[in-house]
């Protein structure tokens, strides 16, 4: 993790937030490449979950919602973690992360941990100029509730009937007691949530299975190593009382397995609660049968920061390669081409030769209309090393031959093989491989 964190900073993927002021725990910024990487991850989710389906509609709700929302959802009463302090070293822990409450894992003293007490993870804020209780609100701890409270607006305006889904990607906030493991556990993060509403026709578990399969396919399509991914089935004791089935998608990070996503059969719990608390009728009215019912909900809730981190960790490799006569080491990010922030780097063989520079710039500008490209110049070995480190699948070198026969060298990131390709065939060559 240390190597990956260092690379993330050096190459402009992820920075600590407010670094010049000493940083702030649980918050991170995405640099020039990280911002693209995360956008690509979100686009990949959006493409498969919304754009390629005719039964899922898009949504985007506000971060701050009516405070009653969080009473109805159960977050005010129960969105707690158990907090434990060490009276000796003053360190703070999540009780469920400790192997035992007898001994502090940091200072090793026995009998110094306090009794676990509830700590609500919702971040509070105040609306308007008066900071009294009537203006108190929360930053949403999940995006899903915006979908539930709008259920009727959405299905009526989109003219959808179950089975259909509503998807959104957006920021969520949780006052985590112990943020850590880089961007794995943070206090501000993005979630991609799909709320899929199905009829009460006995096929709800079938839909759950279909979504689990669809999500498996997604991770596989975007190249996550199958041996580092598992779909952990929650036991009835681990599930909320209203949930009929639940799966945690977990990735094997350098520190162990960690949750990326939860897929859950949530019954009718969420809509029922909002019907109860708002007094509004959020049931679905089926025009065909003239019957009203509360649809059953299948949810997929994935963290986009955790998925982006997964892509980084999963792609990271350090290997020894033959470098002429000798062996040398290289660091390479083997990003899936759809995820890679830069898809093709274009360089002139020498930066002090105006003909080569101009030709390389022209090629790069042309390819840029179709691919994510980057022009760079300098020492050839260093250019390749840099592009390997940021995970660029192809590098294009413009040399003296190019000026004569209009061909370029294309180097493949993974095999390091070099092909000679005609300039006017470059676009097709890349499209086929990316
Ligand atoms: P954890 O047990 O790790 O705290 P959770 O079970 O509370 O997570 P959910 O409420 O199921 O998480 O949220 C769905 C997804 O949102 C998670 O799988 C994760 O990817 C993401 N997520 C939740 N909390 C955080 C966080 N603090 N930082 C980054 N991502 C998060």
Q: Looking at ligand 1, which residue's alpha carbon is closest to its atom 13?
A: 301
Q: Looking at ligand 1, which residue's alpha carbon is closest to its atom 8?
A: 259
Tens digit of pLDDT for each residue in 400-418?
999 999 999 999 999 999 9
Tens digit of pLDDT for each residue in 59-106?
999 999 999 999 999 999 999 999 999 999 999 999 998 999 999 999
Residue 391 confidence (pLDDT): 98
Residues flanking ligand 1, CB < 6 Å: 174, 176, 185-186, 189, 191, 259-262, 301-303, 305-306
Tens digit of pLDDT for each residue in 368-387?
999 999 999 999 999 999 99
Dihedral sign (CA 131, 137, 140, 143): negative
pLDDT at 5 over 90: yes
> Stretch 190-195: mean pLDDT, rounded?
98
- 156 Cβ contact partners less than 8 Å away, ≥ 6 residues apart: none
Q: Which atom of ligand 1 is nearest to the CA of 259?
A: 18
Cα 304 to ligand 1 centroid, rounded to whole Å: 10
Q: Which residues pair with 394 in a beta bridge?
A: 344, 412
Q: Looking at ligand 1, which residue's alpha carbon is closest to its atom 22?
A: 303
Tens digit of pLDDT for each residue in 255-312?
999 999 999 999 999 999 999 999 999 999 988 889 999 999 999 999 999 999 999 9
| Cβ-based neighbour number of residue 158 at 10 Å | 13
Q: Looking at ligand 1, which residue's alpha carbon is closest to its atom 19?
A: 303
Tens digit of pLDDT for each residue in 85-97?
999 999 999 999 8
| Mutation pick for ligand 1 pocket among 14, 27, 306 (CB with most ligand atoms within 8 Å) | 306
344 within 8 A of 393, measured Cβ to Cβ: yes
| pTM summary value | 0.95
Please give the structure tokens belonging to residue 297. Answer: 């909900």
pLDDT at 133 over 70: no
pLDDT at 128 over 90: no
pLDDT at 131 over 70: no
Q: Looking at ligand 1, which residue's alpha carbon is closest to its atom 30?
A: 303
Q: How far apart are CA 397 and CA 229, in angstroms?
A: 37
- 389 Cβ contact partners less than 8 Å away, ≥ 6 residues apart: 7, 11, 331, 332, 333
pLDDT at 129 over 90: no
Cα 395 to ligand 1 centroid, rounded to whole Å: 37
pLDDT at 130 over 90: no
Confidence of residue 32 (pLDDT cuts 50, 70, 90): very high
Cα 190 to ligand 1 centroid, rounded to whole Å: 10
292 within 8 A of 279, measured Cβ to Cβ: no
Average pLDDT, the chain: 96
Q: Looking at ligand 1, which residue's alpha carbon is closest to its atom 21?
A: 303
Residue 134 confidence (pLDDT): 66
Q: Which residues pair with 170 in a beta bridge?
A: 191
């Amino acid at each position: 993790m240390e190597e990956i964190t260092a690379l993330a900073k050096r190459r402009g993927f992820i920075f600590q937030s407010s670094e010049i002021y000493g940083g702030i725990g649980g918050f991170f910024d995405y640099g020039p490449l990280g911002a693209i990487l995360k956008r690509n991850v979100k686009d990949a989710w959006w493409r498969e979950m919304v754009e390629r389906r005719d039964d899922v509609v898009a949504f985007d709700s506000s971060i701050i919602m009516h405070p009653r929302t969080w009473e109805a959802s159960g977050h005010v009463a129960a969105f707690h973690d158990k907090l434990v302090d060490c009276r000796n070293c003053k360190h703070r822990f999540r009780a469920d992360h400790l192997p035992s409450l007898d001994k502090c894992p940091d200072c090793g003293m026995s009998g110094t941990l306090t009794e676990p007490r509830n700590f609500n993870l919702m971040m509070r804020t105040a609306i308007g100029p008066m900071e009294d209780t009537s203006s108190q609100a929360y930053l949403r701890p999940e995006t899903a509730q915006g979908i539930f409270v709008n259920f009727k607006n959405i299905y009526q305006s989109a003219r959808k009937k179950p089975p259909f889904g509503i998807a959104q990607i957006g920021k969520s906030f949780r006052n985590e007691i112990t943020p850590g493991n880089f961007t794995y556990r943070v206090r501000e993060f993005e979630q991609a949530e799909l709320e899929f509403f199905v009829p009460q026709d006995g096929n709800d578990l079938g839909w759950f299975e279909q979504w689990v399969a669809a999500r498996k396919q997604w991770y596989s399509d975007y190249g996550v190593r199958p041996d580092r991914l598992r779909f952990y089935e929650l036991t009835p004791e681990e599930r909320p009382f209203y949930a009929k089935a639940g799966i945690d998608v977990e990735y094997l990070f350098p520190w162990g397995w960690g949750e990326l996503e939860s897929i859950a059969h949530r019954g009718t719990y969420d809509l029922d609660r909002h019907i109860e608390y708002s007094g509004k009728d959020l049931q679905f009215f089926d025009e065909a049968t003239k019957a009203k019912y509360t649809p059953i909900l299948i949810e997929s809730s994935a963290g986009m920061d955790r998925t982006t981190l997964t892509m980084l960790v999963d792609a990271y490799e350090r290997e020894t390669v033959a470098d002429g006569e000798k062996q040398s080491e290289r660091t390479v990010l083997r990003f899936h081409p759809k995820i890679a922030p830069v898809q093709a780097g274009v360089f002139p063989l020498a930066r002090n030769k105006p003909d080569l520079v101009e030709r390389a710039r022209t090629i790069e500008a042309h390819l840029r209309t179709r691919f994510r490209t980057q022009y760079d110049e300098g020492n050839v070995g260093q250019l390749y090393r840099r592009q390997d480190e940021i995970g660029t699948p192809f590098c294009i070198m413009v040399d003296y031959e190019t000026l004569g026969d209009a061909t370029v060298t294309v180097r493949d990131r993974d095999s390091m093989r070099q092909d000679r390709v005609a300039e006017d065939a470059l676009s097709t060559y890349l499209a086929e491989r990316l």
